[in-house]
Structure 1
């Protein structure tokens, strides 16, 4: 209609966001500025993902996608109140029904922006759990940086290309095992009990991984 104001602005974050803590960081921003928040989770079978990946011009290794499938955390609408505006699509292909569900989700989210005072005991406990998960995410990023630097150092010492590939595979396996152990173990829990900020980098936890990386690299140089 003439003179009508601009419509709502949608910010679409298109990424894996495989940890709930990654998505929760976005929710916290929405809560800080009283914005609407919703999420669409595409639950695609692993084999379908692998097939589609092989059709890409630059496919990633199958191992990467398989590992992602084991790590990804599906929205828990029952446990996490902050994930109540979530839509889990299980179809491999988009349908008109999916379009209607997405439009309905967006409309509901727009009508119910996140309020800054939406806090309760259960949510605070959920925040604490997600805080620990966020620390694992930070550890993941630190591990990636350590591996990247280790690969550069190995290349600088003239490690053969064939051995560089083996080194990369071994370091990535080490990272996957380390992070899984971190999520299942008590080291991170004990650390989080002594910290007040989720943003604190788990440096002490990473030091052991750094030593393991050095041990692996030393076998190749």
Structure 2
């Protein structure tokens, strides 16, 4: 008798070099070693769509991700109708071209984790995954790889194919942390395999309820963009003033954390300014007050 296959999509969230690919392969390893009673298919977006973060435009990035998501939805539909013994043939013929070393399958496992290794630093980027879950009758949970900017940049410098520091800094500043209570929060520096395995098993048994992540009505995007540029310029000025007087890396990270907090209040509508000059003055007071 054919087993009813069940799928859970696992969304990885975090800036480049925060440990997402490392954690996805740890899950793959747990499956291979039969410590996790599931199949695992890792979908690394950087490899699947060959993202050039330095040169790609926002429009091209969105189109590339949407194409990838459509292929994922198509793949799930095909896998659901086939015996697991035929899966490798189906995966090999799928346009995603998933590397074989990213797949762990066992005929004994009726549960499959599809791990989406993507940055997903905006809440809006995570909603597409939930749409697939609803369309394909899949469960879902998230893993947020928390990292400081300095640690991510240091790890990035050691990678064979690294991302520009400016890209990492922008994503760090723009990152909207997940709010769903079923999200697993992880720091790769403090990885504890036993604790992580227990959390995985808990989320597999009790995944998240598929609701939209709460967010307030966004401000007009063109205005937000202008305000974002103003605060970045003020950070640049503060850094110039501090040259030779402070530990620049730590000071930069501190200022950018403050800028992130400030801009979250602006985006949510908690802080409203009539003019750009009002925003600039208030931001100067905010960073000078520390």
Please report the TM-score for the alignment, with normalisation by the length of structure 1: 0.45
Give the TM-score normalised by the residue count of structure 2. Answer: 0.35
**Between Structure 1 and Structure 2, which shows a larger proportion of helix residues?**
1
